[in-house]
Structure formats: structure tokens, C-alpha cells
């Protein structure tokens, strides 16, 4: 583990460093609580464990621990275990340290075997935390990813769009939104079956991803509908970008087993206006899409804000 020691007594620091190095850990040190807090502000995620003396000048270990815990969020990823050091083993001191945010307590003089056992316990807790963080990330990915296409789902797309709209408003940046729909998709399902329809969705998604411009976000927002968030993109550039996406789909047949399908897509696009909310912006792009369908499909139609 990477361990940071906060201890004002040189002899105690040297002894602790010796014990920890013997156990195979990487060790750095500071001399008081203020240095500890300042170090963590610059390198919070660099440390696996803090070993903190209770009584130090300038800022005590108790005060430092309270500030460190205040830096954390509710995410288990932010948790850094803290072991307090003290020459006192009174119930009151142990209670104070635990209430300040300590996870364990060591009484001086430090016994090597006791220290090793405490570190083993901390490693077990850290392992459980890492598993929890990994599981949380997996669940988050599942909740925001479309299972079939592995694109962001509607929820994730709308979150990204909301963020980009806030940036566009704050920094007066260009932003455009488009909705893409596979032409005559119902015919594919009716004629070839839903397995082929699913494969078409996967291959269309793959072509969109392979053509993705830097900064663009594409999500599956409906059955055969895809949303496109085009950041830093004016109306004219958005139409050109949508045309490139359209041609990426229609430029070559899609092969599904023995079936060779010549697909086209239609797109509706609009530019961000600060008088419209997220859903209104998507609806406006949808109206442009319906117009593209009405005019014969396989085209991009732009619609101004209303």
C-alpha cells in the first residue's frame, strides 16, 4: 500500500517507516496535521492508508481527520482509512478518534506484530471497498447503456444533452441536436424477423460509432431512433455532420447472414436556443425528422427554433 504518515516526533516516524518498509509498503511522511491536510488536497487519491498521530503541533490529528472526512463524498471510492497513533489508551481518547473519523487505533510504543495485523485488517476493508466500487460502476454502466447496441440509452443521452446545454448557455457556445431514424425499419422486422432487425440495429450503431466526431454523443433513444448531441456545432456544420452520418449508413449494404440490406436513414436537426428546454429541443428535432420522412426519406432536414 501507499501509506502517508503524519507524526511530529522524528524517532517515532523513523520507527514507523522501518516497520512499514519491512512489511513491503511505500511510505511518505509529514510532520503535522496541517501538512497532512494540504498534502491530501493536492493528492487525495494517491494514498491507500493514513497513519496519524493524535497530538501534533499546529493542527492535531483529530482536527486533521475531521477536515479529511469533510473532503469526502458519499462515494466509497473516496474513502481513505485512517489509523490513529497515541501514547494514551484511554476509552475517552479512543472514542474521540473514532468520532473524528478514525478506522482504527494504535497505542505507542508500536508493536510490529500488532501493526502488521492492523494493516491486514485495513487491506481486507480496502478490498471490500474496491469490490463495491467496481460493482457500482458496473451497475451504473448497465443503467445507462442500451443492452442491444451498447450505445448510451435515452436516460444517459438526455443527461449528456442537459450538460452540453448548460455549457452552451454559460459559455455562449454553439450546440446542435439531431434525431436519426432508420427508414422502413418495420418492413425489415416484418419481412426478415426481429433477429435480423436486432442485427441491423447493432450494425447501424457500429457504423455511427466508427464515424463519431470528437465531442459528439450518440444514444439510442427509441426503437430505431438515435439521438445526436453535436457540441460546438453550428446549424450549418450540424447539417453537414448529419449528412456524413447518413452516408455512413447508406454508403454500403448491411449484411445480416444471407440477407443483403440497402438501408437509408432520415435525420432531423436543430440548433440550441436558450429559450427551449431539453425535451423541447428533442421534439423540435423530431419535427424536422418527420418533415424529412414526408419529403421522401434518406435526407437531413434542418428546422429553426420556434
Is residue 177 one of the residues assigned to a domain? yes
Strands 104-107 and 82-86: parallel
pLDDT digits (tens, 9 = 90+) for 53-74: 988 989 999 999 999 888 876 6
Is there a single domain that holds both residue 134 and residue 161?
no
**Are 55 and 177 found together in one domain?**
no
109 and 244 together in one domain:
no
Residue 35 phi, psi dihedral angles, 5° rounding: -65, -35
What is residue 187's predicted lDDT score, i.e. its pLDDT?
Answer: 95
Report DSSP state, residue 44: G
> pTM above the 0.75 mark?
no
Residue 80, CB-side half-sphere exposure with 13 Å CA sphere: 29
pLDDT of residue 121: 86
For position 77, what pLDDT does the model report? 66
Whether 219 and 114 share a structural domain: no
- Domain coverage including residue 80: 2-143
Q: State the CATH number of the domain containing residue 243.
A: 3.30.70.270
Pick the catalytic residue from 92, 199, 224, 306: 224
Mark whether 295 and 161 lie in a shared domain: yes
Alpha-carbon distance values, 253 to 80, 133, 194, 270 (Å): 54, 43, 18, 29
Residue 34 is among the residues annotated as catalytic for this protein: no
Which residues of the chain register pLDDT less than 70? 73-77
Predicted pLDDT of residue 254: 94
Residue 223 lies in a domain: yes
In a domain, 267, yes or no: yes
pLDDT of residue 182: 97
Residue 148 in any domain: the answer is no
Q: Which of 103, 96, 100 has the alpha carbon at shortest distance from 121?
A: 103
What pLDDT shows up at residue 223?
Answer: 93
Amino acid at each position: 500500500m501507499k501509506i502517508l504518515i503524519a507524526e511530529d516526533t522524528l524517532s517515532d516516524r523513523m520507527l514507523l517507516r522501518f516497520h512499514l518498509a519491512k512489511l513491503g509498503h511505500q511510505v511518505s511522511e509529514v510532520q503535522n496535521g496541517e501538512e497532512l491536510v494540504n498534502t491530501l488536497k493536492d493528492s487525495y487519491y494517491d494514498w491507500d492508508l493514513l497513519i496519524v498521530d493524535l497530538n501534533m503541533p499546529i493542527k492535531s490529528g483529530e482536527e486533521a481527520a475531521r477536515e479529511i472526512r469533510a473532503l469526502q463524498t458519499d462515494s466509497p471510492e473516496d474513502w481513505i482509512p485512517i489509523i490513529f497513533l497515541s501514547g494514551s489508551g484511554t476509552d475517552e481518547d479512543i472514542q474521540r478518534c473514532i468520532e473524528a473519523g478514525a478506522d482504527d487505533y494504535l497505542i505507542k510504543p508500536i508493536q510490529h506484530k500488532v501493526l502488521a495485523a492492523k494493516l491486514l485488517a485495513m487491506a481486507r476493508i480496502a478490498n471490500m471497498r474496491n469490490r463495491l466500487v467496481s460493482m457500482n460502476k458496473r451497475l451504473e454502466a448497465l443503467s445507462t447503456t442500451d443492452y442491444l447496441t451498447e450505445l448510451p440509452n435515452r436516460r444517459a443521452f438526455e443527461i449528456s444533452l442537459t450538460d452540453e446545454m448548460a455549457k452552451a448557455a454559460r459559455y455562449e457556445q454553439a450546440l446542435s441536436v439531431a434525431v436519426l431514424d432508420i427508414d422502413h425499419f418495420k418492413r425489415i422486422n416484418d419481412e426478415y424477423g426481429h433477429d435480423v432487425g436486432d442485427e441491423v440495429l447493432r450494425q447501424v450503431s457500429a457504423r455511427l460509432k466508427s464515424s463519431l466526431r470528437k465531442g459528439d454523443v450518440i444514444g439510442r433513444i427509441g426503437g430505431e431512433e438515435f439521438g445526436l448531441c453535436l457540441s460546438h456545432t453550428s446549424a450549418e456544420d450540424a447539417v453537414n455532420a448529419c449528412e456524413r452520418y447518413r452516408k455512413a449508413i447508406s454508403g454500403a449494404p448491411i449484411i445480416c447472414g444471407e440477407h443483403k440490406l440497402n438501408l437509408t436513414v432520415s435525420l432531423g436537426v436543430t440548433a440550441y436556443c436558450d429559450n427551449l428546454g431539453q425535451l423541447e429541443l428533442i421534439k423540435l428535432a423530431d419535427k424536422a425528422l418527420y418533415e424529412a420522412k414526408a419529403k421522401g426519406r434518406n435526407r437531413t432536414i434542418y428546422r429553426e427554433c420556434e
